[in-house]
Structure 1
Amino acid sequence: MNKWFKHIGLAIALLFSAVCLANGGDGQAIQPQAADAQIWAQLKDGATGYTASQSEFHAQPINTYDLRVLELRSDWLAPALMAALFGMIIIFVLFIKVNGISKLHHGFSGKMVYRWSKFDVSIHWLGAIPCLLLILTGLVLLAGRFFFQPWLGEGFWAGLVYGAKQVHDVMAIPFMIGWALMITLWAKNQLPKMYDVKWFMVVGGYINFGPFKGKHPDAGFANAGEKMWFWAFALFGLIISASGMLLLFPNLFEPSRTLSLIALVLHSVSAIVICAFSIVHIFMATVMSEGGMECMVSGYCDENWASQHHNLWFDEIKANGTLQYKE
């Protein structure tokens, strides 16, 4: 298709030159810059050419609507994704440096309570690993041109973009499978409760100074922060999956040019939201909450961790007889 566009542009340029020579009796040549400016003005005004394709916009060498999307990408989407990733990391590093982490007040009990099945743990990593790879490769594809390319050689940059595109396309399918399984199987434990409001009011008990210090709000199987992350992941994961399918399989869905551009914007915005939430989730699970990471490694949590961070759930499984300890 680029070949057709080049032919169209060349034909317009030759026609323009012929007209100018026919009318220019004084023999003075028009400056190339002036000719380029006039051709560009004609293209922006919607000049069309001939192509064998009957698809929408194919006779139009340049669609100025595309240019607004490119400006949106360079001015807003790319910086926002950079801020969502690196900005959130910096914020958490500074927060932990000032506040410290949330330690278990009674230390580790040594008794491990069953919390997640091996299947649940597998589902988590099925979604989590592709999600991380999609964030990193998406960062290269969306923002790399503006933030990374100026510092890299052309050969290295070309290889990086190519590799990022391949990984991004391959990881899309397992991410969507993991997303669908998590939403289907875990939604029942993520429904909002009135006590979730109190959780937010004391920031989950993770603040180690001032009036918030030592506060441990009630929480069921999932606390209010985890529920907010879950439903954000559910909504924006749906948008990013649907838009990603349109972009990944254009020949299958045959979206219009406008729909493809809308899908690109929605895909980028959803990626920014998921990226920011993912950084919060990772820090909370691995650094902020002492003993929290064990849940998604073995499926078990320390008894003191369960009592401190998910007391209502721990009381419930003790009362209904479903409490299981690791042998």
Structure 2
Amino acid sequence: MNNWFKILAVAVLLMLGMGLGHAADANAQLGDAQMWAELKDGAVGYTTSTSEFHGQPINTYDPRLLEARGTWLAPGLMAALFGMIVVFALFIMVNGISRLHHGFSGKMVYRWSKLDVSIHWLGAIPCLLLILTGLVLLAGRFFFQPWLGEGVWAGLVYAAKQVHDVMAIPFMIGWALMTLMWAKNQLPKMYDIKWFMVVGGYINFGPFKNQHPDAGFANAGEKMWFWTFALFGLVISASGMLLLFPNLFEPSRTLSLTALILHGISAIIICAFSIVHIFMATVMSEGGMECMVSGYCDENWATQHHNLWFDEIKANGTLKYKD
């Protein structure tokens, strides 16, 4: 009898304990819900930081901004890089490259100074590294991480972040110098319309074949790339500074997230135009790459692609050949 009494007592105590436990859990959940509700409503606490935002544990923002990173920006940057490479590769397979109709003359015409060439590569090399590392940071976890081990992925992300941060400053310096020094040769002209109408003379079939539209120092396509680079380079530099030095600017979380979105959009646009620019300079235009290697271009290249500029330097006596 005593044993049954003991068992019954233990059972009653267990039931009471479970009831108290459920009550405690319910109170804890109610307290948590109340706490999170207050935080989401903008409740503030105390901190030794002097930033106006640091007293607020949670900063509410439109969740669509964060979702846009994985939904739109990551695939957008992938498409801008690899998509444009595929498009240009197919185009060259079908169309071929733009060859010099009279071949190389052997006479090299002065076009860019050594300073200009240096500034170009000061902006170009960091730009390429920023695109590749930005691809890892923005889109890597969606497209690369599933195929890599955790250790490899962690090392790749760390290296990408370090390179991205270091290359940001020389890119911004190169962008600023190119924008300020080259803008005078990039102003639109009426003959630029004809250049676009015949696609710059780079099409090797149909009514576009053997068309050589007028162009000054820069053709219409180069001008479009320049002003795109100038505008979105400004956006990517400003947003990049905000993200790179948060302790200096002390942005709110909403502003930081907005800067990240603008940074990604600008990166997609610059990436797509960069691929076009690289293909045009290295593959599509025979003799074009030499301009940014030595600063000189072949005379036949100048007359075929930049005839108005070549006529101008002949007329004003500034034509200079390489010794």
Fold shared by both chains (TM-score > 0.5):
yes
Asked if residue 171 in structure 1 is aligned to residue 162 in structure 2, the reply is no
2:59·2:254 contact (CA, 8 Å) conserved in 1? no
Map of 1:249 onto structure 2: 245
2:78·2:139 contact (CA, 8 Å) conserved in 1? yes
Residue 137 to residue 119, structure 1, CA distance change in 2 (3 Å): same
1:46·1:60 contact (CA, 8 Å) conserved in 2? no
Offset of residue 69 of structure 1 = 2.5
Asked if residue 291 in structure 1 is aligned to residue 287 in structure 2, the reply is yes
Map of 1:94 onto structure 2: 90
- Stretch moving more, 190-199 or 59-68: 59-68
1:66·1:261 contact (CA, 8 Å) conserved in 2? no
Separation (CA, whole Å) in 1 of partners of 2:42 and 2:178: 50
Asked if residue 202 in structure 1 is aligned to residue 202 in structure 2, the reply is no
Amino acid at match of 1:160: L
Structure 1 runs (4+) deviating above 4 angstroms are: 21-31, 37-51, 53-64
Matching of residues 1-327 of structure 1 within 5 Å: 42=37, 45-46=40-41, 50-52=45-47, 55=51, 58=54, 62-65=58-61, 67-327=63-323
Offset of residue 28 of structure 1 = 8.3
Map of 2:10 onto structure 1: none
1:221·1:313 contact (CA, 8 Å) conserved in 2? yes
Residue 193 to residue 140, structure 1, CA distance change in 2 (3 Å): same
Separation (CA, whole Å) in 1 of partners of 2:42 and 2:296: 65
**Which ranges in structure 1 are unaligned for 5 or more consecutive residues?**
1-20
> For 1:9-52, what per-residue CA distance to the aligned partner results, in whole angstroms no more than 9, with x for missing partners?
xxxxxxxxxxxx99956958979xx99x9699858954857453
Separation (CA, whole Å) in 1 of partners of 2:94 and 2:36: 56
**Bigger Rg, which one:** 2
2:98·2:202 contact (CA, 8 Å) conserved in 1? yes
Separation (CA, whole Å) in 1 of partners of 2:69 and 2:35: 22
Separation (CA, whole Å) in 2 of partners of 1:302 and 1:289: 12
1:46·1:63 contact (CA, 8 Å) conserved in 2? no
SS in 1 for 2:61: helix
> What TM-score results when the alignment is normalised by the length of structure 1?
0.86
Residue 191 to residue 58, structure 1, CA distance change in 2 (3 Å): same
SS in 1 for 2:98: coil
Map of 1:10 onto structure 2: none
> What TM-score results when the alignment is normalised by the length of structure 2?
0.87
Offset of residue 285 of structure 1 = 0.2
2:303·2:310 contact (CA, 8 Å) conserved in 1? yes
1:117·1:299 contact (CA, 8 Å) conserved in 2? yes
Residue 26 to residue 82, structure 1, CA distance change in 2 (3 Å): closer
Offset of residue 295 of structure 1 = 0.2
SS in 1 for 2:137: helix
Number of corresponding residues: 305
1:196·1:223 contact (CA, 8 Å) conserved in 2? yes
Separation (CA, whole Å) in 2 of partners of 1:64 and 1:26: 33
1:44·1:64 contact (CA, 8 Å) conserved in 2? no
Residue 85 to residue 123, structure 1, CA distance change in 2 (3 Å): same
Offset of residue 72 of structure 1 = 0.6
1:43·1:62 contact (CA, 8 Å) conserved in 2? no
SS in 1 for 2:259: helix
Separation (CA, whole Å) in 2 of partners of 1:316 and 1:203: 23
Separation (CA, whole Å) in 2 of partners of 1:232 and 1:40: 48
Amino acid at match of 1:52: T
SS in 1 for 2:310: helix
Separation (CA, whole Å) in 1 of partners of 2:288 and 2:54: 54
1:246·1:255 contact (CA, 8 Å) conserved in 2? yes
SS in 2 for 1:217: coil
